[in-house]
Amino acid sequence: MAGAEPSDTMKIRPILLGVLVAALAVGSLMPAEAAKKKKKKPSGPVVMGTDAADDWGSAHGTEIAPAGGPLGQELVEASIGMADAKTVDFVITLAELPPTEGLPEFTRYVWTINIDGELLAIDGKFTNYSRGTCDPTAGTCPPPRDPGEAPFLVRGNCTDNGGTAVTCEELGLVHGTFDTAKATISVPVPLELLGAKPGSVISHAIQPGSNFSGVWAIPSVWASQADMPHDELVLTKTFTVPR
């Protein structure tokens, strides 16, 4: 009928249509927002390199290789991930670890890495009272200290002293975890201590003078000699700190 008012149903329809359009628009944005949040999560570990499980001390002949496993010096894999948004987790996988988790004082583990062009070493043992208590060459003594269990020294500014020794400044001390069941050693290091930031690239490096590179496991009391039986793992990939 001419001039008739719209019914209540006809009035409601535009409102319902508007609500439906708004709901669809919000729904279409949710996956994008979820994807953004997912990208911000710490990245999973990257396998930086692998090594044969029977080549410890190979420069001294294959007959001594079986000793590398019980010593906890037979390297198998090295990986890097994020323990949290501000901490990089360096993980060494071995063929085996001693039942005591590690050998106190005797076995030394080193990550030799390059971070944005700067060489660093993460250097530690199951216990390290021989050097971790007092190391004049690293600028950490006096006073003596208790380095604690599984101490790993973050070292930089390394100098080759004519091929006789390599000295590095100690930048900080962190503590690792030795896991016998998994035969792994995990060493969490804060980004600040590494001098790293989101976007920083961690890669393979060679220590000046000694020519040790990547990850290496070697007998040591206070220091290590290049001609000692040891195992060395080359890092073939890079790790980028997530943004």
Reported as a single tens digit per residue, the pLDDT across 147-205 is 999 999 999 988 877 655 678 899 999 999 999 999 999 999 999 999 999 999 999 99
CA dihedral 147, 152, 154, 160 (to 10 degrees): 100
Q: Are 28 and 53 within one domain? A: no
Q: Are 129 and 69 within one domain? A: yes
Q: Are 136 and 187 within one domain? A: yes
Instruction: Give the model's pLDDT for residue 84.
Output: 96
Closest Cα partner for 194 from 129, 126, 116? 116
Q: What are the pLDDT digits (tens) for 15-33?
A: 445 544 444 444 444 454 5
Confidence of residue 221 (pLDDT cuts 50, 70, 90): confident
In total, how many domains does the chain have?
2
Name the residue with higher pLDDT: 166 or 119: 119
The CATH number for 94's domain is: 2.60.40
Q: Are 64 and 180 within one domain? A: yes
Determine phi and psi for 110, rounding to 5 degrees: -135, 130
* C-alpha–C-alpha distance, residues 151 and 128, integer Å: 7
Q: Are 11 and 119 within one domain? A: no
Domain range for 155 is 46-240
Please state the pTM of the whole predicted model: 0.79
